[in-house]
Amino acid sequence: MSEKIFTIEEVKLLSKNKYYCLEVKHSAVNDYISGKGSLYDICSKYNISSHSVLQGWILKYNNSHNKWKSHNTKENKIMTKGRKTTYNERVEIVAFCIENNDNYQLTSNKYKVSYQQVYTWVRKYKENGYESLRDNRGKRKNIDQMSETEKLNAQIRLLEAKNKQLEMENNFLKKLEEVERRR
């Protein structure tokens, strides 16, 4: 019994897994079930790597408890990509979620925001009301709204920044003097 010897290119082709989109899987299985060809014919038509792959799809189709699986990362997103929302949208999203017995997944799917974001907004609302849904990132407090400790911490940060700037200027001038002395 002689074994087939593969070239390096053939080995590289054999070692890679091939993934198929859901449309190809459905079309191939439907063609086979409707009698449009043999396993080998359909594999050839849809460029499926092996008839055993198609057989597996047919088994999964016949055993309806198995779900079709696509390896397309865009179809399998677990988290929805975040998007910017206005205050009014967040209020509407929270209201919808609470009306639906805190169904975060339903709300997430309907409004195209992440599950975690819906959960966070609902939790904030329940703890502090609708005002907690305002986005205050990047907005500084007025001096009137700061506590004494916050005022002192802000003053310390300003003085540290000024000190660092003066140190940098001093070091620059020293370097400049050194360069001029070398000339």
Q: Which two tokens stand for residue 18?
A: 């091939």
Which tokens is 95 given? 């209201």
33-66: per-residue pLDDT in tens? 888 888 888 888 888 888 888 888 888 877 664 5
Q: How confident is the model at residue 59, as a pLDDT?
A: 81
Q: Report which of 17, 26, 22, 18 is spatially closest to residue 69, judged by C-alpha positions.
A: 22
pLDDT tens across 84-97, in order?
A: 888 899 999 999 99
Q: Flag whether pLDDT at 116 surpasses 50.
A: yes
Rounded to the nearest 5 percent, the helix, strand and coil shares of the chain are 65, 0, 35
Would the pLDDT of 111 be above 50?
A: yes
Measured between its terminal Cα atoms, the distance across the chain in Å is 86
Task: Give the pLDDT of residue 75.
Answer: 44
pLDDT (0 to 100) of residue 70: 54
Q: Is the pLDDT of residue 129 over 90?
A: no
Residue 71 has pLDDT above 70, yes or no: no
pLDDT at 152 over 80: yes
> pLDDT value at position 122?
93
pLDDT band at 121 (very low <50, low <70, confident <90, very high): very high
Predicted confidence (pLDDT) at residue 78 exceeds the cutoff of 60? no
Q: Cα–Cα distance between 111 and 92 in angstroms, integer?
A: 10
Q: Which of 1-5, 73-77, 143-147 has the lowest mean pLDDT?
A: 73-77
Which residue would you say has higher pLDDT here, 106 or 65? Answer: 106
The answer to whether residues 112 and 103 touch, using CB atoms and an 8 Å cutoff, is no
Residues 162-175: tens digit of each pLDDT: 898 899 999 999 99
Cα(32)–Cα(41) distance, rounded to whole angstroms?
Answer: 9
- What's the pLDDT at 74? 45
